Amino acid sequence: MRILSFIIANFTVLLTLSANELPQQDNKEHLGVASCAASMCHGSVIPREGSDVLQNEYIIWSRADAHSQAFQTLLSPESKKIANKLGLESATTASICLDCHSDNVNTDQQGEKFQLSDGVGCESCHGGAEEYITSHTHAAISRDENIAKGLYPTDKPKARAQLCLSCHLGNKDKQASHDIMGAGHPRLAFELDTFGILQPLHYVVDEDYLKQKWAGNNYITWIYGQLEASRATLDLLEEKLIDNSTLFPELSLFDCHSCHHNMSDLKWNENKGQGFKPGTVRLNDGNFKMLMIIASSTGHSEILHQHLADVKSSLNDKRKLKALITAIFKDIEQLEKAIMAQSIADKKVSAFATLNDILSAGTNGEFSDYIAAEQVVMAIDLLFEFIAKKPEFEEDISLLFDLVANDEKFNDALFSKQLSKLYERIRQ
């Protein structure tokens, strides 16, 4: 079961992201997981009473969080095969692997207790502890002061989205490219709210937490995840398509299933073609489709829809594509401002309208490609949670998850049919 997020009255608190460097580029000394693991710090076996934090965060991370095993994954036979195919001496020493499977900071930033083998540890997400290691436990020192010292604001959804997406989608510094996936790396999928809930929480949203940090809900976390995923995709399009001078563009930016299917499996149809003729390699635009759905509930969809449609027809015109990317960045900025200006009551109305828009579009077959369908199911799940109707539709949601469990067995007709049934049910 998913955990209901806390909805707070003051929704505007600390939503905007100041100019924080991602932890890997923060130029602070990273002291290592061992610096946080003492029993009186964050290494207690059980939560401690009377403390502002659980103090067993290290135990939760080391025993239950998949991030703690990120480096160990590089020792697997599969990783060794991938490294060999890429011509790497070892996955455990190659930055192309360590950038996302460890806290891969420069050697002059590695403290005495630092170990790459710790994987994605405390400072991978919370930033180099060089300056805040002593101050972050002092009640007299504010959170803003600690953030100024290098503590990364993971509570803020915009900052968290940028951090998570830097590995789970990629940025100009690192990406699971088509070369890497061609060597055997799994395709990456991500949605901020869903993936956050899948990880064991090492904090409690209590009175003390609410005094210092942002604590929102499924809906706004999902929105920020989609806004930042779209921004990150636009950055990658600019970096890998416009500034690319090689024979082929970065193919991971396109829909995998445009090419990866049996030649006898004639997948093209009008919806999947997205306005293109058969044989066209389509953009991986699952997040853009979610962006359009979000925009439709705010009245900002018309110009965004036009710009996104123009992107698809301008992939061979780098000058026009660059102008469109700039325009879409502005569209997203306006969309973000409009959403953040809504009251809590308006957000609930918008969330219900968003759910209806997703189901309506799905009924019309607009999510016939697997990657969009995957995003749709995660969105439906969290939106039902947010509007407090999930128990009524638990079985329907489970069926949708079953339909996207395996991309090779995905049936878009069955998926649209299930969305249609769900749409009829919610309208009754």
What is the pLDDT at residue 215?
Answer: 79
294 within domain boundaries: yes
- Whether residue 211 is found in the same domain as residue 272: no
Average pLDDT over residues 229-243: 94
126 within domain boundaries: yes
Comparing 328 with 205, the larger pLDDT belongs to: 328
User: Residues of the chain with pLDDT > 70: what percent?
Assistant: 92
Domain boundary among 181, 198, 216: 216
How many angstroms separate the Cα of 194 from the Cα of each of 113, 184, 190, 198, 337?
33, 25, 8, 6, 24
pLDDT reading at 56 higher than 70: yes
175 within domain boundaries: yes
Given a contact cutoff of 8 angstroms between Cβ atoms, the answer to whether 225 and 193 are in contact is yes
Please enumerate in sequence order all residues whose Cβ is within 8 A of that of 418, keeping only pairs 6 or more positions apart, or say none.
Answer: 396, 399, 400, 403
How buried is residue 395: exposed, middle or buried, by Cβ count under 10 Å (0-12/13-18/19+)?
Answer: exposed
Average pLDDT over residues 39-50: 89
Domain boundary among 216, 243, 272: 216
Given a contact cutoff of 8 angstroms between Cβ atoms, the answer to whether 30 and 129 are in contact is yes
191 within domain boundaries: yes
Gyration radius from the chain CA atoms: 22
- Whether residue 200 is found in the same domain as residue 249: no
Given a contact cutoff of 8 angstroms between Cβ atoms, the answer to whether 237 and 252 are in contact is no
The pTM of the full predicted model, rounded to 2 decimals, is: 0.89
Domain boundary among 182, 216, 250: 216
What is the pLDDT at residue 279?
Answer: 66
pLDDT-based confidence at 11, cuts 50/70/90?
very low
Average pLDDT in the chain: 89
- Whether residue 273 is found in the same domain as residue 206: no
pLDDT-based confidence at 274, cuts 50/70/90?
low
Judged by DSSP in three states, 30 sits in: strand
pLDDT reading at 18 higher than 50: no
Domain of residue 88: give its range: 23-216
Cα separation, 193 vs 379, whole angstroms: 9
- When mean pLDDT is compared across 112-116, 117-121, 297-301, 398-402, the lowest value belongs to 297-301
13 within domain boundaries: no
- Whether residue 177 is found in the same domain as residue 150: yes
- Whether residue 178 is found in the same domain as residue 38: yes
CATH number at residue 171: 1.10.1130
Please enumerate in sequence order all residues whose Cβ is within 8 A of that of 204, keeping only pairs 6 or more positions apart, or say none.
Answer: 54
Report the Cα–Cα distance between both ends of the chain, in Å, rounded. Answer: 25
pLDDT reading at 13 higher than 50: no
Judged by DSSP in three states, 165 sits in: helix
For 299, which DSSP code? T
- Whether residue 239 is found in the same domain as residue 298: yes
Alpha helices (H) in 186-240, listed in sequence order = 192-198, 207-212, 218-237
Please enumerate in sequence order all residues whose Cβ is within 8 A of that of 262, keeping only pairs 6 or more positions apart, or say none.
Answer: none
**pLDDT tens, position by position, 166-186:** 999 999 999 999 999 999 999
What is the pLDDT at residue 16?
Answer: 37
Cα separation, 127 vs 138, whole angstroms: 18
- Whether residue 348 is found in the same domain as residue 266: yes
Cα separation, 118 vs 95, whole angstroms: 15
Comparing 389 with 17, the larger pLDDT belongs to: 389
For 28, which DSSP code? S
- Whether residue 289 is found in the same domain as residue 415: yes
Comparing 390 with 49, the larger pLDDT belongs to: 390
Please enumerate in sequence order all residues whose Cβ is within 8 A of that of 72, keeping only pairs 6 or more positions apart, or say none.
Answer: 117, 119
What is the pLDDT at residue 277?
Answer: 64
Alpha helices (H) in 169-284, listed in sequence order = 178-182, 192-198, 207-212, 218-237, 270-273
- Whether residue 229 is found in the same domain as residue 285: yes
pLDDT-based confidence at 269, cuts 50/70/90?
low
Strands (E) across 359-403 are located at: none
**pLDDT tens, position by position, 328-341:** 999 999 999 998 88
What is the pLDDT at residue 231?
Answer: 97
- Whether residue 288 is found in the same domain as residue 172: no
What is the pLDDT at residue 119?
Answer: 97
pLDDT reading at 209 higher than 60: yes
156 within domain boundaries: yes
Q: Render the burial of 105-142: b for 16+ CB within 10 Å, e for the rest.
A: beeebbbeebebebbbbbbbbbbbbbbbbebbeeeeee
198 within domain boundaries: yes
CA dihedral 278, 279, 284, 290 (to 10 degrees): 0
Q: How many domains does the chain have?
A: 2
Average pLDDT over residues 295-318: 88
Cα separation, 126 vs 381, whole angstroms: 28
What is the pLDDT at residue 90?
Answer: 97
- Whether residue 71 is found in the same domain as residue 92: yes
What is the pLDDT at residue 7?
Answer: 30
Which residue bears the tokens 């109305």?
349
Average pLDDT over residues 280-296: 90
pLDDT reading at 52 higher than 70: yes
User: Residues of the chain with pLDDT > 90: what percent?
Assistant: 70
- When mean pLDDT is compared across 1-15, 97-111, 114-128, the lowest value belongs to 1-15
Average pLDDT over residues 184-207: 92
Nearest-CA neighbor of 210 among 151, 141, 143, 126?
A: 143
Cα separation, 289 vs 300, whole angstroms: 14
Cα separation, 291 vs 334, whole angstroms: 12
7 within domain boundaries: no
Given a contact cutoff of 8 angstroms between Cβ atoms, the answer to whether 24 and 128 are in contact is no
pLDDT reading at 15 higher than 70: no
Please enumerate in sequence order all residues whose Cβ is within 8 A of that of 150, keeping only pairs 6 or more positions apart, or say none.
Answer: 26, 28, 127, 128, 129, 130, 131, 132
- Whether residue 367 is found in the same domain as residue 232: yes
Given a contact cutoff of 8 angstroms between Cβ atoms, the answer to whether 300 and 338 are in contact is yes
What is the pLDDT at residue 281?
Answer: 78
pLDDT reading at 363 higher than 90: yes
Query: Which residues share a beta bridge with 283?
Result: 254
